[in-house]
Amino acid sequence: MKTLMSFTAGLALIAGMAAAEEVRVYNWSDYIDEELLEKFEAETGIELIYDVFDSNEVLETKMLAGGSGYDVVVPTGTFLQRQIQAGAFQKLDKSKLSNMGNMWDVIAERTATYDPGNEYSVNYMWGTTGIGVNTGKVAEILGDDAPIGSLALVFDPANMEKLASCGVHFLDAPTELIPAALAYAGMDPDRKDGDALAKAEEVLMAVRPHVQKFHSSEYINALANGDICVAIGWSGDILQARDRAAEAENGVEIAYNAPSEGALMWFDQMAIPEDAPNPEAAHTFLNFIMDAQNMAAASNYVYYANGNKASQEFLVEDVIGDTAIYPDEAALQNLYTVTPFPPREQRALTRMWTKVKSGT
């Protein structure tokens, strides 16, 4: 191993590179402006290895197994909370994060629910879980007064039956779909008891035959191409689908709505694994992203809001002015957050989810 390393180091020297230092980042798919990655390498001279995932479960398994080799990962708040308890992360050294002052207290207050004192993580982006529709096709099927701003669109079997032939995707994320089903049933979305799960199951089972697929990333392309009409998905992803369709000029028009019954608000947090090979460079990366202009560039690209107050002056009007991304005071009232499932309830939840997905 040592010889191999000195060999690589030798090669690096020959190539005239300053250092063979590298940082490995594991982030969600379609979640950054890739120019930022090049900019980071150019500015710091650290080689950046950037991998992507599309489900919290995959990331969590890597974190719990340990030895993932990543220096920076981006779990969602509820998952982060559990992983902190399992000892998967190291505390941030805030003296190395000179851009800490850029962060937005409104968001930091909320993320403290998952990470008390924000000791282990900083917010990358946040968003809502809502409904994306192909406006033309949905109007064609359900008429112009289709309830596209309501959960009734996806949880009322009468609507779903008609939409099925056109294609409906749901996120493969039980911790987000069950709160939505509870909100539709008029219950507290954060309930985890047996009665609540049974109610959520009833709502979901009634519409499951009309769901073409439960998947957490395919719907971006499927919506944009016109392959499907409706998706329960993440705000920015659906807005990306909207833009891809507009760019392709294929006549597909996509709209995103946070449902009127309430929408889940989630937070993706950057954290450093306990066994990160290069925590020093991980802090450098975090600080780079926390730079106001860099963070703004990322948000402008992916259409998600961020937890960086200073970045807001660099956001384009399309992002900061869109209430689907930066909700106004009234819309903010309509958003709810949830807490993680304890292990026993988690098993009941997954079992129910399998039943919803497969009918067994």
Partner 1 sequence: MMRRTFLIALPYIWLLALFLVPFAIVLKISLSDIALARPPYMPQLDLTGGLAAVWDFITQLDFENFVFLTSDDLYWKAYLSSLKIAALSTAITLVVGYPIAYAMARAAKEWRPTLLMLVILPFWTSFLIRVYSWMGILSTEGVLNQFLIGIGAISEPLQILNTQTAVYIGIVYTYLPFMILPIYSALEKLDDSLLEAAEDLGCSRTTAFWLVTLPLSKGGVIAGCFLVFIPTLGEFVIPSLLGGSETLMIGKVLWEEFFSNRDWPVASAVAVILLLILIIPIVLFQRNEQKQREAEG
The span of 32-40, 93-101, 221-229, 300-308 binding partner 1 (CB under 8 A) equals 221-229
The span of 8-16, 60-68, 95-103, 291-299 binding partner 1 (CB under 8 A) equals 60-68
Within its chain, how far is the Cα of 252 from the centroid?
Answer: 24
Q: Restricting to residues 278-337, which ones interact with partner 1 according to CB under 8 A?
A: none
| Least distance in angstroms from the C-beta of 86 to partner 1 | 5
Decide if 59 contacts 83 (C-beta within 8 A): no
Dist CA 130 CA 232 (whole Å): 6
Tell me the one-letter amino acid at 272: I
| Least distance in angstroms from the C-beta of 207 to partner 1 | 11
249 near partner 1 (CB under 8 A): no
Q: Which of 88, 200, 263, 286 binds partner 1 (CB under 8 A)?
A: 88
The span of 44-52, 184-192, 205-213, 257-265 binding partner 1 (CB under 8 A) equals 205-213
| Least distance in angstroms from the C-beta of 41 to partner 1 | 27
The number of residues that bind partner 1 (CB under 8 A) is 39
222 near partner 1 (CB under 8 A): yes
What does the block give as tokens for 136? 């033309």
Q: Which of 32, 72, 211, 296 binds partner 1 (CB under 8 A)?
A: 211
Within its chain, how far is the Cα of 68 from the centroid?
Answer: 20
Spatial CB neighbours of 140, under 8 Å, sequence gap ≥ 6: none
**Rounded to whole angstroms, what are the CA distances from 195 to 3, 207, 245?**
61, 19, 41
What does the block give as tokens for 157? 């079997």
| Least distance in angstroms from the C-beta of 150 to partner 1 | 23
346 near partner 1 (CB under 8 A): yes
65 near partner 1 (CB under 8 A): yes
The span of 1-9, 208-216, 281-289, 323-331 binding partner 1 (CB under 8 A) equals 208-216
339 near partner 1 (CB under 8 A): no
User: Considering beta carbons, is residue 25 or 59 the nearer one to partner 1?
Assistant: 59
Within its chain, how far is the Cα of 29 from the centroid?
Answer: 9
Q: What is the crossing angle of helices 34-44 and 279-289, to 10°? A: 120
Binding marks (x or -) toward partner 1, 224..243, rule CB under 8 A? Answer: -xxx----------------
| Least distance in angstroms from the C-beta of 166 to partner 1 | 9
**Rounded to whole angstroms, what are the CA distances from 359 to 56, 181, 211?**
24, 17, 12
Q: Which of 60, 176, 237, 268 binds partner 1 (CB under 8 A)?
A: 60
| DSSP conformation letters of 27-64 | EETT-S-HHHHHHHHHHH--EEEEEEES-HHHHHHHHH
Dist CA 128 CA 336 (whole Å): 9
**How many C-beta atoms surround the C-beta of residue 240 within 10 A?**
25
| Least distance in angstroms from the C-beta of 275 to partner 1 | 9
Instruction: State the number of CA atoms in the 13 A half-sphere of 159 facing the CB.
Output: 18
Contact footprint for partner 1 (CB under 8 A): 55, 57-58, 60-61, 63-66, 82, 85-88, 165, 167, 174, 208, 211-214, 222, 225-227, 274, 343, 346-347, 350-351, 353-355, 357-360
